[in-house]
Amino acid sequence: MKKKCKPSISIMKIISVSIILLILSGVGVIAMATQMNTITITLASGYELTVLTNKANVSEILEENNIVLDANEKTTPNLDEKITSEKTIIISDKSIQEIQVAKVSENGIETTLEEILDNYSPITEKIVTEEVPIPFETITKDVSNSSENTKNKVIRQGEEGIKQITYKIKYKNNEELERTILSENIIKEPIDKIVQVQSNITSRSSASSRNSSGTTIFKVTAYCPCAKCCGKFASGYTASGTKATPGRTVAASSQFAFGTKLLINGTTYTVEDRGGAITGNKIDIYCSTHAEALAWGIKYLPVQVVK
């Protein structure tokens, strides 16, 4: 009986060893099938993402990491290809032409994927807001009455305005490629410069001068019946009691009696009014509106008493 048991024990050992070998080989196959790889994914924005995966197909790796391509994006390698030995996936914009460095040789043009990737640079966008000056204009008013001897007098200094502009700027390798205006906002309006061209009056011993015919040069301004010109008690009546009339009424100092006729710039006026600011050789011509008075401005004209 003992002789018959020995062969049985040997067969059992062989079977046991065979089962163990089969199990170990299966584990090895599974381990090989589930080998993990470290993959670097570069997004179109330039951001790099490192993932651990057992996938080899590009589309499967992206899907596994919840990365969805836009309609204008592509991958290198292509979606249906497997990852290369570099273990990188690059997502780029289809509309951007990649820089390719070509080598010309006797055999033709040769280039490699590595050279293309080395010369690839993503395009970035920035929103930039700037403040730029708005130049002012110069307005010239000629009140010289065609006088040959004139001078320029600055009535109001000009000031630049300010405009705020928002741009969208595209950069590549820190160089500006494109600038698009998104919005414009005027923060401060410019103020125009006003220059008045007037007769150049020279004075000998007083504020006025006389020409060869004895006519005196006066500073001639204009006024109207509004509150700005005549104060809150403006009534439209003159200091002499007459109704102020355009083309007739002037205000003069007491050197001229009421009713005195004055020839000014080809028109004969009558002294009918006075004014607190009307002193010396100054005359104020009556206008019907404030706009007409402003348009008259300041003129230096010969004034002659009509006998």
For 147-161, write each residue's pLDDT tens digit. 777 888 888 888 999
Gap between the Cα atoms of 238 and 220, Å rounded: 18
Say if CB 163 and CB 134 are below 8 A apart: yes
The yes-or-no verdict on residue 114 having pLDDT over 80 is no
Question: End-to-end CA distance of the chain, in Å?
Answer: 173
Tell whether pTM > 0.75: no
- pLDDT category at 83 given cuts 50, 70, 90 is confident
Quote the pLDDT of residue 187: 93
Question: How far is Cα 291 from Cα 298, in angstroms, rounded to an integer?
Answer: 14
Residue 205 clears pLDDT 50, i.e. is over it: no
Q: How far is residue 74's CA from residue 94's CA, in Å, rounded to a whole number?
A: 6
Residues pairing with 176 in the sheet = 171
Q: How far apart are CA 232 and CA 195, in angstroms?
A: 31
For residue 95, the number of C-alpha atoms closer than 13 Å in the C-beta half-sphere is 4
Report which of 69, 77, 58, 119 is spatially closest to residue 93, judged by C-alpha positions: 69
Instruction: Write out pLDDT tens, residues 62-82.
Output: 998 888 888 888 898 888 898
Give the pLDDT score at 31.
45
The side-by-side arrangement of strands in the sheet containing 175-188 is 123-134, 161-172, 175-188
Q: Cβ of 261: how many Cβ atoms within 10 Å?
A: 14
Three-state secondary-structure class, residue 29 = helix
Residue 160: predicted pLDDT? 92
What per-residue confidence (pLDDT) applies to 105?
A: 45
Q: Which domains does the chain have, with CATH numbers?
A: 37-120 (3.10.20), 124-195 (2.20.230.10), 211-305 (2.40.40.10)
pLDDT band at 35 (very low <50, low <70, confident <90, very high): confident
167 neighbors 180 (Cβ within 8 angstroms):
yes
pLDDT of 100 > 70? The answer is no
- The edge-to-edge listing of strands for the beta sheet with 138-142 is 138-142, 193-199, 150-156
Q: What is the mean pLDDT of residues 7-14?
A: 66
